[in-house]
Amino acid sequence: MRIDILTIFPGMFDGVLGASILKRAIAAKRLTVRVHDLRRWSPDRKHRKVDDRPYGGGPGMVMRPEPFFAAVEALTANAQRGRKAKGPAPRVILLTPQGQRLTQPVVQRLAKRQHLILLCGHYEGVDERIRALADEELSIGDYVLTGGELPAMVVLDAVARLVPGVLGDATSAHDESFSGPRLEYPHYTRPRVFRRMAVPEVLVSGDAKAIEVWRQLAAWQRTRQRRPDLVKAS
């Protein structure tokens, strides 16, 4: 899978891409991630500005449409030239608090794509015409951040771990919270007793069938306690 990210702060992604699972996935060529400085496509060659004052007045600055359109068109053209066989076009995603809520089913759908382009807005927002570029708009929650960079990192991490070969154990993603209509079951490791809190006996019994039953029941119990809305939806 290939993921291109358009941002005016490419340095924000260095730490995310340079550590842990994402770093190993990129090194193993399971995942290709390119972070692009949007200012490269600014029509203002001297100052490389990508924002301007909003028509009609108001606070803040609004990101202009030209850099986004030029960048997406360039990345799409390059991707088409790089494919030996004709395949699906990149899916363009605008990160915005007004978008669809990011959920695990959405992540699972995106993980099946070959190429994603993530658009990061900033300042007061983006010119409304930029929305015409996007195949979909995503939000990571009902709150406002300073830009689309942090949501883009969340999308990148959530999608990447579902790409085949990225996780060490392919089954790791199957039993997680939100992979189905329930939360994940509790996990324990050594020591067996810690500050008078003991690991459930069934988990050290060696009885695989009993352990599976316990995990399923514990998962449903946790879901009913913490997220009863998921139980009702199922």
| Confidence band for 10, pLDDT divided at 50, 70 and 90 | very high
pLDDT tens-place string over residues 75-131: 999 887 766 556 789 999 999 999 999 999 999 999 999 999 999 999 889 999 999
Share of the chain above pLDDT 90, in %: 84
**Mean pLDDT, to the nearest integer, of 228-232?**
88
Structure tokens at 61: 């600055």
What is the reported pLDDT for 168? 72
Q: Phi and psi for 118 in degrees, rounded to 5?
A: -105, 125
What is the reported pLDDT for 80? 78
pLDDT tens-place string over residues 146-158: 999 999 999 999 9
Is this model's pTM higher than 0.75 or not?
yes
Residue 76: which of 91, 66, 65, 86 has the closest Cα? Answer: 91
Residues paired with 95 in a beta bridge: 120, 138
Report the distance separating Cα 176 and Cα 169, nearest Å. 13
What is the reported pLDDT for 88? 85
Report the distance separating Cα 103 and Cα 229, nearest Å. 14
What is the reported pLDDT for 79? 81
> Dmax over Cα atoms in the chain, in whole Å?
70
Question: Does residue 170 have a pLDDT over 70?
Answer: no
Question: Does residue 203 have a pLDDT over 70?
Answer: yes
- Domains of the chain plus CATH, in order, are 2-160 (3.40.1280.10), 175-233 (1.10.1270.20)
Report the distance separating Cα 211 and Cα 146, nearest Å. 45
- Pick 167 or 3 by higher pLDDT: 3
What is the reported pLDDT for 179? 64
| Local structure of residue 207 (DSSP, 8 states) | -
Report the distance separating Cα 115 and Cα 19, nearest Å. 22
Strands 91-101 and 115-120: parallel
pLDDT tens-place string over residues 42-54: 998 889 999 999 9
**Mean pLDDT, to the nearest integer, of 51-64?**
94
| Confidence band for 5, pLDDT divided at 50, 70 and 90 | very high
Question: Does residue 11 have a pLDDT over 60?
Answer: yes
SS3 76: helix
Which positions ≥6 away from 123 have C-beta within 8 Å?
51, 60, 61, 62, 63, 147
